[in-house]
Structure 1
Amino acid sequence: MSSTPSSSDAAALPTAASHYPARPQFSGFMKPTGVEGDVGTLEVYGAIPAGIDGTFYRVMPDPQFPPFIDNDPWFNGDGSISAFKIKDGRASFKQRYVRTEKFTREREAKRALLGKYRNKHTDAVEFKVRTTANTNVVHFNGQLLALKEDAPPYALDPDTLETIGLHTFDGQLPSMTFTAHPKFDPATGEMVCFGYEAKGDGTPDICYHRIGADGKFLETVWLISPVVAMIHDFAVTENWVVFPLIPQVCDLERLKQGGEHWQWSPETPFFVGVLPRVGAKPSDVKWFRYPNCFPSHSCNAFEDAAGNIVFDLGLCDKNLFFWWPDAKGNAPAPETLHTKLTRFTIDPRSEDLELTEAANVTVLQTGNSEFYRLDDRFATQSYRHAFFDLMDPALGTDFRAIGPQLGGGYPLYNSLGHLDIVTGETEVYYPGNTHMVQEPVFIPRRGSTVEGDGYLLALVNNYASMSSELHLVDTKDFGKAVAVIMLPLRLRHGLHGNWVDAADVAK
Structure 2
Amino acid sequence: MAGHFRTQAPAASLPGQAFGRYPQFSGIMKPSRFEGEVQNLEVDGTIPHSIDGTFYRVMPDPQMVPFIEGDPWFNGDGNISAFRIHNGRCHFKQRYVRTEKFVRERQAQRALLGRYRNKYTDLVEFHVRSTANTNIFYFNGRLLACKEDSPAYAMDPVTLETIGLEDFCGQMPSLTFTAHPKLDPVTGELHCFGYEARGDGTPDVCYWTVSPDGQVKNVSWLVAPAVAMIHDFAVTDHWILFPLNCLTCDVERLKAGGEHWQWDPELPFYLGVMPRYGGNNSNVKWFQGPTAFPGHTANAHETADGNIVFDLAMAKDNIFVWWPDRDGNAPDPKSGACRTEMSRYTIDPRSKDLELPTPAVLGPDDCEFPRIDDRVSSKPHTTIFYLAMDPALDTNYQAIGHLVAGFAPYNAIGQLDVVTGGLAKYFPGRTHFVQEPVFIPRSKDASEGDGYVMAMVNNLSTMTSELHIVDTNDFTKAQAIIYLPMNLRIGLHGNWVDSQDLGLSKD
TM-score of Structure 1 vs Structure 2, range by shorter chain: over 0.9
Pairwise CA distance, 1:448 = 3.4
1:341 corresponds to: 342
Q: For structure 1, which segment, 361-370 or 153-162, has the greater mean C-alpha deviation from structure 2 after superposition?
A: 361-370
Pairwise CA distance, 1:188 = 1.4
2:286 corresponds to: 287
Q: Which amino acid aligns with 1:205?
A: D
1:425 corresponds to: 422
Pairwise CA distance, 1:226 = 0.3
1:173 corresponds to: 172
Q: Which amino acid aligns with 1:39?
A: V
| Structure 1 portions without partners, runs of 5+ | none
Deviations 1:275-302 (A, max 9, x none): 0001333311110001111110000000
1-side partners of 2:45 and 2:372: how far apart? 25
2-side partners of 1:52 and 1:390: how far apart? 25
2-side partners of 1:410 and 1:248: how far apart? 18
2:9 corresponds to: 13
2-side partners of 1:458 and 1:177: how far apart? 29
Q: Which amino acid aligns with 1:433?
A: R
Query: CA-atom RMSD, angstroms?
Result: 1.4
Q: Which amino acid aligns with 2:176?
A: T
1:268 corresponds to: 267
1-side partners of 2:9 and 2:408: how far apart? 36
Deviations 1:192-242 (A, max 9, x none): 110000000000000110111121112101100000000000000011000
1:306 corresponds to: 305
% same residue: 60
After superposition, where does 1:202-241 map in structure 2 within 5 Å? 202-241=201-240
Native 8 Å contact 1:340 1:368 kept in 2:
yes
Pairwise CA distance, 1:68 = 2.1
1-side partners of 2:365 and 2:351: how far apart? 32
Pairwise CA distance, 1:189 = 1.1
After superposition, where does 1:244-259 map in structure 2 within 5 Å? 244-259=243-258
1-side partners of 2:436 and 2:77: how far apart? 19
1:94 corresponds to: 93
Q: For structure 1, which segment, 90-99 or 272-281, has the greater mean C-alpha deviation from structure 2 after superposition?
A: 272-281
Native 8 Å contact 2:385 2:416 kept in 1:
yes
TM-score, structure 2 normalization: 0.96
1:443 corresponds to: 440
Native 8 Å contact 2:221 2:279 kept in 1:
no
2-side partners of 1:317 and 1:280: how far apart? 29
Q: Which amino acid aligns with 2:394?
A: G
2:32 corresponds to: 33
After superposition, where does 1:282-431 map in structure 2 within 5 Å? 282-335=281-334, 336=336, 337-357=338-358, 361-404=359-402, 406-409=403-406, 411-431=408-428
1:57 corresponds to: 56
TM-score, structure 1 normalization: 0.96
Native 8 Å contact 2:347 2:357 kept in 1:
no
Pairwise CA distance, 1:401 = 1.9
- What SS does structure 1 have at the residue aligned with 2:24? helix
Cα distance 1:326–1:440, how it changes in 2: closer, same or farther (>3 A)? same
Cα distance 1:186–1:447, how it changes in 2: closer, same or farther (>3 A)? closer
- What SS does structure 1 have at the residue aligned with 2:398? helix
Give the length in aligned residue pairs.
498
2-side partners of 1:374 and 1:34: how far apart? 31
Native 8 Å contact 1:32 1:492 kept in 2:
yes
Q: Which amino acid aligns with 2:340?
A: T
Native 8 Å contact 2:401 2:409 kept in 1:
no
1-side partners of 2:129 and 2:368: how far apart? 28
Q: Which amino acid aligns with 1:413?
A: Y
Pairwise CA distance, 1:410 = 5.4
- What SS does structure 2 have at the residue aligned with 1:395? coil
Deviations 1:107-137 (A, max 9, x none): 0000000000000000011100001000001
2-side partners of 1:97 and 1:370: how far apart? 26
1-side partners of 2:419 and 2:70: how far apart? 45
Deviations 1:249-278 (A, max 9, x none): 000000000000000000000000000001
Q: Which amino acid aligns with 1:92?
A: H
| Structure 2 portions without partners, runs of 5+ | none
- What SS does structure 2 have at the residue aligned with 1:155? strand
Native 8 Å contact 2:142 2:154 kept in 1:
yes
1:500 corresponds to: 497
- What SS does structure 2 have at the residue aligned with 1:71? coil
Deviations 1:69-96 (A, max 9, x none): 1222110000000000101000010000
1-side partners of 2:369 and 2:121: how far apart? 31
- What SS does structure 2 have at the residue aligned with 1:103? helix
1:480 corresponds to: 477
Q: Which amino acid aligns with 2:345?
A: F
1-side partners of 2:404 and 2:416: how far apart? 29
Is 1:469 the counterpart of 2:466 in the alignment? yes
Deviations 1:460-488 (A, max 9, x none): 01000000000000000011100000001
Cα distance 1:69–1:497, how it changes in 2: closer, same or farther (>3 A)? same
Native 8 Å contact 1:21 1:66 kept in 2:
no
Cα distance 1:313–1:381, how it changes in 2: closer, same or farther (>3 A)? same
Q: For structure 1, which segment, 20-29 or 420-429, has the greater mean C-alpha deviation from structure 2 after superposition?
A: 20-29
Native 8 Å contact 1:24 1:407 kept in 2:
no
2-side partners of 1:398 and 1:138: how far apart? 34
Q: Which amino acid aligns with 2:60?
A: P
1:117 corresponds to: 116
1:163 corresponds to: 162
Pairwise CA distance, 1:341 = 0.3
Pairwise CA distance, 1:356 = 3.0
2-side partners of 1:200 and 1:403: how far apart? 38
Q: For structure 1, which segment, 443-452 or 317-326, has the greater mean C-alpha deviation from structure 2 after superposition?
A: 443-452
Native 8 Å contact 1:31 1:407 kept in 2:
no
Native 8 Å contact 2:287 2:356 kept in 1:
yes
1-side partners of 2:79 and 2:427: how far apart? 27
